[in-house]
Amino acid sequence: MTEDAGGVPAVGATVHDTARDRVGRVMGHVGPYVQLRPLAGGIEWDADPNHLRPLTLAEVLSALVAEANARSRQHR
């Protein structure tokens, strides 16, 4: 995960918000918070950068597959 000089994840990074137990993509920064959006899109949420950890490539792929599976079950 690319971080800025302050250790905040860069826009586009995929992270796990440990406070909410959710995976999201960094969309921006406002004040002390990082804005995250679910990988499949949706409503952004604010996260404390101290509760974010980078995902490994395997974790990113697993999260994307889980999102795709959830979408496929909704259209039945």
Look at residue 19 and tell me whether its pLDDT is greater than 90.
yes
CA distance linking residue 61 with residue 35, whole number of Å: 21
Tokens of 36: 């995250």
pLDDT of 45 reads: 98
Q: What is the pLDDT of residue 40?
A: 86
pLDDT for residue 25: 96
Q: What is the pLDDT of residue 72?
A: 86
Question: Tens digits of per-residue pLDDT, 32-76?
Answer: 999 999 998 899 999 999 999 999 999 999 999 998 888 888 866
pTM for this predicted structure: 0.82
